[in-house]
Structure 1
Amino acid sequence: MFPLALAGCFISMILYILFGQITVKKLRKNSETKNLLGLEYVSGWDIINVAQALSIPRSWRRKLETGPFSVLYANSEALYKHTTKADRVLAAVFYWLLTASGLIMILLVIFDALALFK
């Protein structure tokens, strides 16, 4: 399980760079979308915000964008207008691979702490 999670992390790092250079760079340069990419905690966090906005189901996006913490999230409606289908597919592959590999790593740490592997 660990090699699978590690491979997922490595591939998601490559996709992070590709998605940032291909899609998010284009959105940052666009005057209509540059302020709609969500709050950037650290440099590059907007790449994850954009990928999340283009990947999660619409019902989840609506809840996030209308909630009290909506400033933290990217505006998905504006992003959909300014991205192609290929951008959205790249976002989905990157975001879900990053999420899945991160969750698997966390579960492996918990299972190891509980001595389930011995």
Structure 2
Amino acid sequence: MLAVGVITFALGAFIAIYITRIITAPLERTAAIADTIASGDLTTQIDVAGKDEAARLAHSLKVMQVNLVSAVSNIKQSTETMAVAARKIASGNADLSSRTKSQANSLEESA
């Protein structure tokens, strides 16, 4: 009777550990993906397999990563456009300043 109890306890412990690993392994993988994205690395390939909650979470992280890459790309492009416009404005200002100075010199010579 004692042997049956020990075997039952050991089997229960084994099943509990097995189920815990089945649940925590995908969550740990998903947490690692989130940590990678949070650290700023948007180049990591995210493979999604399964239809459980952890797979849905991994899929959401993949979509978020794609959207972040797109947003960063759009921001970079907008920044480059603004830099070009700022250079054109600076050039126009320098040209206007030069012409104003030239006009002022002409006025002084006329007076």
TM-score by length of 2: 0.35
**Which protein has the bigger helix share?**
2
TM-score by length of 1: 0.34
Higher RCO structure (Cα 8 Å, ≥6 apart): 1
